[in-house]
Amino acid sequence: MAKKVILASGSPRRKELLEQVGVEFEQRVSGKEERYTATEPKEIVKELALMKAENVASDIEAEKGLLIDTVVIGADTIVVLDGQILGKPRNEEHAFEMLQNLQGRSHEVYTGVAFLSYNKEGKKEVISHAVETKVHVHEMSEKEIREYVATKDPMDKAGGYGIQGVFAAYIDGIEGDYYNVVGLPVSYVYQQLKEICLMC
């Protein structure tokens, strides 16, 4: 990759996925909060992903001046059940409620990815995109949900579950990109990076 890549994320999953496909990058987070104004899930995750990338880019610019020959990537994942948006659970009871609603049914996971691509003159190009995956969750008893919540695995994950961990026991199937559910549609990201860096 000809450009420097910065992953604007604190997520260990996103870091692992980008490493898995051989991209060299730096990871950085901004302390600034993200808020959305959009109403459609795809637009919400795109807006939040862009905000994460922009917050990190502005932090770096404040420290070091203009960003040059660099791509900053932000991402955001939400779970949507019957049009209702589920982010990360506030506490264990909230996680329990989310899982009670998700079990025995299907829902959608959306991940938005934003790229801020800076050329040699520091001119910025913005690309944002959202990927949807449908997830079918097996029925769970109250006891099974309580036991899963007690593992604390739900607490840092949208929808209160992690497809990549013990919760795999309840995944009947998915339609779409698995990695999108884990937090980064990594083939889309890789192909987009290839395109951006071919043009540089």
Ligand X SMILES: Cc1cn([C@H]2C[C@H](O)[C@@H](COP(=O)(O)OP(=O)(O)OP(=O)(O)O)O2)c(=O)[nH]c1=O
Which residues of this chain interact with ligand X, rule CB under 6 A? Answer: 9-11, 13-14, 29, 52, 75-77, 79, 88, 109, 156-159, 161-164, 181-183
Which residues are CB-neighbours of 9 under 8 A, at least 6 positions away?
Answer: 15, 27, 29, 52, 73, 74, 75
Of 10 and 173, CB closest to ligand X: 10
Of 77 and 192, CB closest to ligand X: 77
> Shortest approach of ligand X to residue 18 CB, angstroms?
11
> Shortest approach of ligand X to residue 77 CB, angstroms?
4
Residue 98, helix vs strand vs coil:
helix
DSSP label of 25? -
Of 3 and 157, CB closest to ligand X: 157
C-alpha–C-alpha distance, residues 3 and 53, integer Å? 16
Of 76 and 196, CB closest to ligand X: 76
Q: Give yes or no: 69 in active site.
A: no
Dump the DSSP string for 33-95.
Answer: -------SHHHHHHHHHHHHHHHHHHHHHHHH-S--SEEEEEEEEEEEETTEEE-S-SSHHHH
The pair phi, psi for residue 153, each rounded to 5°, is: -55, -35
C-alpha–C-alpha distance, residues 70 and 58, integer Å? 13
> Shortest approach of ligand X to residue 1 CB, angstroms?
20
Phi-psi region of 138 (alpha: psi -120 to 50; beta: other; left: phi over 0): beta
Q: Which of 76, 82, 153, 172 is catalytic?
A: 76
Of 75 and 193, CB closest to ligand X: 75
Provide the token pair at 126.
Answer: 């913005």
Catalytic residues: 76
